A and B are shown apart, each in its own frame.
Chain A
Amino acid sequence: MKKRGKEKKQKLPFRKVWSNNLFLLKIIGKTAPMLLPYLTLTMIFGAAVEFFSSTYMLRFAINGLQEGKEFSVILIGILLLFGLQTVNIVISRLYYELYSPVRMERITRRMKAQVYEKAASIELARYENPEYYDSFVKAIDECSSRAWSILTTFGDLVWFLVSYTANFAFLVALDPVLLLFALVPLFAAPLKSKENKAKYRRNMELKEEGRRENYSRRTFYLADYAKEMRLTQMPELMLRRFRESGARARDIMRKSGVPVAVFWYILKILNDVVVSLGAALYCVWRTLGVGAMGYGDCLVAVNAVETVGWSLSRSVGILTEFQEHALYTENLRNFLEYEPTLQGGEDSIPPTGDLVLQGVSFRYDGAEDYALRDISLRFGAKEKIAIVGHNGAGKSTLIKLLLRLYEGEGTVTYADKEISSFSVEEYRNMFSVVLQDFHLFSFPVADNVLLRLRREGDGELVEDSLKKAGLWEKVSQFSQGTETIITREFDKDGAVLSGGEAQKLAIAHVYSKQNRFVILDEPSGALDPLAEHEMYLRMADACKDCGMIFISHRLSSAVSADRIYLMEQGRVAEVGTHEELMAQNGRYAEMFRRQAANYGEVEA
């Protein structure tokens, strides 16, 4: 078993707690300015009515009886209370159902939109770093519930402040000594926050095992794995893994559960025994032993001490809840405030130019070897360039650098200007890219073709692009045409495409755009030879005026390129046209002959 990494200290200074909570409250305030005032009002009124109906009314009734008040007077008091309660119910329902849910939806929407925007702007490398990625996942998780939790805590705080003040005043009027008991929970505050921290630590440890368990579970139900899970003994292995994770989780519960339990127990005893029973003992002593306290007052005082003690311990809990919110918000905030190191400039992009790489090297985060070493090459504005080479030679990495998905050493220029001087978005928009591992979206066909927001008159463009990609015949048969949703996840009438059809759809995107550069990364993997052949013809036709960069390990597709770069182990090993490289009789020629030999026309 691997040793787990050193636990990170999870402690936030007070200032941070304050500012993180404020950060969340500000988001709430900006989205729904009336939410907090409304909540405050609801809580104040609710707590006041509660005080009247539990503590005060009892005393009023008992004292009234003792003093021999008229029943009608007591009756009026109770009816008054009933009226107050009814008003309270109306206010609560207005807040809890008619007002807040819609606002909460808006707040979540705003937070998620912010996170999404950030997510789309952070560097790709962050997705590949498990630690960063983890904090990212946590940040997104927080969006849907944290605002709601902090509002609940805030509401509780208001409630207990009101309830505490009322009961406190009541106790002072009865017997100030009782306050001593009511104050005990204040001293327990550090314990409570220790309990919360122990809880947090335990949950974090459990989360890790949870991730492992989830992976095993997924292999059992995801369609992707269905075949292998039936044809191999993998189910046994995954089951074993699942069981091991479960056992480890139980271990964590046993070990890390102990401190949580101990803190909880101490706090519980403090409250139930020391405060409540202590106060009862005192009151009884004052009443029966000393005779200084009235009979009715004694009954009510025991009640009131319990209420004050309970609300005080709750309010201590509330403070630690704020701490917890701060802890969780920290992730979200760090994420939102993170400035991607990949920054764009302000320069506008020249209408035409060459892309030039000068001495570019790159190493993946955490990798020992460089994926690219000292690469220099040029993509002309209207050139058709092929990049060929073995798996793992760095072809795809090169494309990622070119698209500014990663940043390496060395310089990349467009029209003689460093690409970092352009805005990232505009720069990337010069390209149309079909990735090796592209994904389709569960949106209408038209959106998958355009991959941008629709504009007036896009219909023809979509049709035209699909025709060029050789997919129109298929799409026109769909019940909803280009509005048919891809996959059946959200629509029973959705379209399920085969691998080849999916690839055609991805390629259709290229035709829908005015491109300066088209990048095709192994675009023909799932296409049959005829479809591949047609694709290349059409693409060359559509791309007369733009640069084309295609990566392939099928050398037949490189033959007609203006220039071929052969990559090997992260370096450019050979450069030239097909004829030049064949004449050079190097690695390219060797590879070409070997492949051609399979077709039997060229001798190896």
Chain B
Amino acid sequence: MKKSAEKSRKIPLWKNTRRLFAMVWKYTPSYVICMVLEGVLWGIANSLGIIYTQYLFDAIGNGEPFSQVAKIIVAYGIYLIFFNLLHTLYWNLYNSWIRKKLQTCLHEELFRQAVRIDPEKYDDPEFYNDFVWAMDEAAPNVEGTVEATGKIINRIVASLTLTAVLFGVDVWMAVLIFILSALRIVLSFWANRVSLRYREEMNPLWRKSDYINRLFLLPDYAKDLRVSQVVPILHKEFRENSEQAEVLIRKHERKISVVWFMINFLYALGECGLLILMLYKASVLKTIGLGSLAVAVNACWKMVWLLRDFSDRITKFHKHGIFVDKMFVFLDSVPTLREGPEEAGAFESLEFYDVSFSYPAKDGERKEVLSGVSFSFRRGEKIAVVGYNGAGKTTLTKLIMRLYDPDGGQILYNGRPLADYTFDSLRNRMGAVFQDYRIFGATLAENVAGGVYHPSMEESVRQALRQSTFDEKAEVLKDGLDTLLTREFDKNGTQLSGGEQQKVALARAFYRNSDLIILDEPSSALDPDAEYALNRSVYDYADARTVVFISHRLSTTRHADRIYMFDSGKIAEQGTHEELMALDGKYAKMFRVQAEKYQRES
């Protein structure tokens, strides 16, 4: 397997952590306060148990009166009742609640950034992976960092108080425990590295296995699986994938077993060593009493556990840090598409001057899809862009709507470069229906409004639906405009057919009442009647507006004021239908092929 060069970014752990806490503080200050408070309180409480035990054992050893000892036990019981109440309130009720709140706020920030990044980035698999990752994993890792911090505070406070207790019993014991803990921390860093590499190597296999899982799980694929013999391929791929995983598991678990053997063996060795040391002092030197011995053994177990947990938390903190860093890199990524300060006015003209554009291809090369394209149109014109698949037609739309910037040349809106205008003002002047339009899992009204819907908008929504000829269907929907257009999370939702979805997408474009409408192959899923009706409604609606039709169905485009025939990213021919037919070039050939069967009838 070829491995790409390791990314050499050094993670500014300290800076990130500070920034992260500033962020958490902004959204949920009470979470930070409670986390610190919890850490300190629980840390002290931890040692309180030991002190109680010491007192109890000493009291027994000294033969104090029963009533005296009983009082202490009862007092400790009362303390436990209150303390656990606090514990329950915090862990069972407050903690998950406040974390959810943090999650929501954090996602809001991520979402805002997500819609800012360049659409081009979606084509870059490496960036996209990190992006998806940030959207999925940022919140758990931010929470993880906060929680780990709380636990680290807790362990520090607890071990400090315990150390005080231990030093009181025996200095050597305290020193020995510290040496052991230091060793343990070093070893666990090693273990961490090993398991990180393990995960890294397993990752591609997990992803593939997830993919196969999706194929079986998602309704989208259910039909494909049933009408072909592809299922055995999936089983084979799945099995091979899992067998590969087995090989990796064998290889890495062997290393991990060595690490864990060392860690556990050291622990056992230390424990026995301590016991021997303490017993030697108690029985041969007679420098410590029996009560202290019992307490020391208890305290030492607790201390070892605390420090073990401490080092686990530190490594966890570190692990979260890697992911938190990814989140910040994502949040800091600056879009190259910048908006200008101008408000775009009513549409007058759009001009392309020698525009070229390429998509990033593999190995940093770029694949040119448009080159030297120059054309222009003015208000009120009906323009058609036609051509074969892959001629660069759809890229035009993306450039006009400024989802991408061209590599070369200029695009002028009302005589000024697109980049001079604000995104919102520019995009509000345009309405587009894409070939691969999307219907959202929201209500019909919201889908038409393209965002938040308010009853005051009802009339305009209904009008847009009328214009896209969806009004009749809208009438029969159970909840009318409020019908949810998905069944994914609501049984009362509705699943529209392809053609119906297209009409909703069209209504969305009409709703905006834009000066310039771009229809990117909107009729590919429509039947002839519906297509006819659609064309009529677009023409009716368009009136004095400007329309750009992008299509390979020449019947849709023949009445355009001007037709641009695209071929391999260049404008091959241009003119009206009649002119182009007279030219008898590529357009004429394409038209004849399509009209052939209808012509036979005449």
Q: Among B61, B279, B489, B601, which residue has its beta carbon within 8 angstroms of that of A215? A: B489
From 187 to 236 in chain B, residues with beta carbon under 8 angstroms from any chain A beta carbon are: 204, 207-208, 211-213, 215-217, 219-236
Residues 49-64 of chain B, each 1 if its beta carbon lies under 8 Å from chain A, else 0? 0000000110111011
- A250 interface neighbour in B97, B230, B486, Cβ under 8 Å: B97
Q: How far is the CB of B523 from chain A (nearest CB, A)?
A: 10
Residues of B within 8 A of A85 (CB): 268, 272
Closest CB of chain A to B1's CB: distance in Å? 11
When chains A and B are docked, how far (Å) is the Cα of A211 from the Cα of B490? 10
**Interface pair B224/A438, CB less than 8 Å apart:** yes
Cβ–Cβ contact A435 & B223, under 8 A = yes
Question: With an 8 A cutoff between CB atoms, is B176 at the interface?
Answer: no
Contact A288 B63 (CB under 8 A): yes
Please give, as numbers and ranges, the residues of chain B lying within 8 Å of A243 by CB-CB distance.
104, 108
Q: Is the CB of B280 within 8 A of A71?
A: yes
- As a 0/1 sequence over residues 418 to 447 of chain A, the CB contacts with chain B under 8 angstroms (1 = contact) are 000000000011010101111101110001
Say whether A529 contacts B590, CB under 8 Å: yes
List A contacts of B261 (CB < 8 A).
89-90, 93
Instruction: State in angstroms the CA–CA spacing of A273 and B450 once bound together.
Output: 60
What is the distance, in angstroms, from B478's C-beta to the closest C-beta of chain A?
Answer: 9
Q: Contact string, A64-103, partner B, CB cutoff 8 A, digits 1/0?
A: 1110010100110011011001100110111011100110
A332 interface contact, C-beta 8 A: no
- Chain A: minimal CB distance from B396 (Å): 14
The chain B residue sitting closest to A428, CB to CB, is B227
Q: Are A226 and B122 in contact (CB under 8 A)?
A: yes
- Residues of A contacting B5 with CB < 8 Å? none
- In the bound complex, do residue A288 and residue B60 qualify as a contact, i.e. CB atoms below 8 Å apart? yes
Is there contact, CB below 8 Å, between B230 and A452?
yes
> Which of the 9-residue segments A232-240, A345-353, A374-382 touches chain B?
A232-240
Per-residue contact bits, chain A 47-66, to B (CB 8 Å; 1 contact, 0 not): 00000010001100110111
Interface string of B432-473 (1 = CB under 8 A from A): 101111101110001001111100000000000000000000
Cβ-based interface call for A136 (8 A): yes
- A269-B81, A431-B227, A599-B555 known; A93 vs B497 contact (CB < 8 Å): no
Minimum CB–CB distance from B343 to chain A (whole Å) comes to: 17
Determine whether B287 belongs to the interface, using a CB cutoff of 8 Å to chain A.
no
Is A257 within 8 A of B93, CB to CB? yes
CB-CB contacts below 8 Å: A550-601 with B:
553-557, 559-560, 582, 591-592, 594-596, 598-601
In the complex, how many residues of chain B place their beta carbon closer than 8 angstroms to a beta carbon of chain A?
A: 172
Q: For A231, list chain B residues within 8 Å (CB).
A: 401, 403, 427, 430, 432, 450
The interface residues of chain B lying within 8 Å CB-to-CB of A309 are none
A227 within 8 A of B: yes
Residues 483-506 of B at the A interface (beta carbon under 8 Å): 486-492, 495, 497-500
Contact mask B585-600 → A, CB, 8 Å, 1/0? 0000111011111111
Contact A86 B268 (CB under 8 A): yes
B7 lies within 8 A of chain A by Cβ: no
Contact between B125 and A492, CB atoms less than 8 A apart: yes
Given A101-B249, A390-B530, A140:B283 Cβ within 8 A: no
* Of A13-21, A124-132, A157-165, A460-468, the one with at least 4 CB within 8 A of chain B: A124-132
CB of B80 within 8 A of CB of A452, answer: no
Closest B residue to A599 using CB positions: B595
B487 touches A112 (CB 8 A): no
Query: Which residues of chain B are within 8 angstroms of A90 by Cβ–Cβ distance?
Result: 261
Contact: B84 with A451, CB < 8 Å?
no
B19 at interface (Cβ–Cβ under 8 A)?
Answer: no
Contact of B600 among A225, A272, A437, A559 (CB under 8 A): A559
Q: Pick the interface stretch among A36-44, A176-184, A291-299.
A: A291-299
CA of A232 to CA of B450 in the docked complex: distance in angstroms?
5
Per the bound structure, the CA–CA distance linking A453 and B238 in Å amounts to 13
Most chain B beta-carbon neighbours within 10 Å: one of A74, A391, A436: A391
B267-305 interface bits toward A, Cβ cutoff 8 Å, 1 = contact, 0 = none: 011011001100110111000001101100100000000
In this assembly, does A173 line the interface, its C-beta being within 8 Å of a C-beta of chain B?
A: no
Contact of A97 with B111 at beta-carbon distance under 8 Å, contacts A428-B227, A598-B556 already known? no
- Report the nearest B residue to A90, measured CB to CB: B261
Instruction: Tell me if B30 is interfacial: C-beta within 8 Å of chain A.
Output: no
Known: A280-B73, A390-B530, A599-B595. 16 other contacts (CB 8 A): A2-B492, A57-B275, A62-B294, A102-B246, A223-B128, A231-B401, A237-B440, A243-B104, A243-B108, A299-B291, A389-B527, A498-B390, A533-B593, A591-B528, A592-B601, A599-B591
A-B contact pairs, 26 of them (CB 8 A): A102-B253, A128-B495, A212-B489, A227-B438, A231-B427, A235-B111, A237-B440, A249-B100, A254-B93, A257-B93, A273-B77, A281-B73, A284-B59, A285-B70, A388-B527, A391-B497, A439-B221, A441-B215, A441-B230, A451-B228, A451-B230, A525-B524, A525-B525, A528-B389, A594-B528, A594-B532
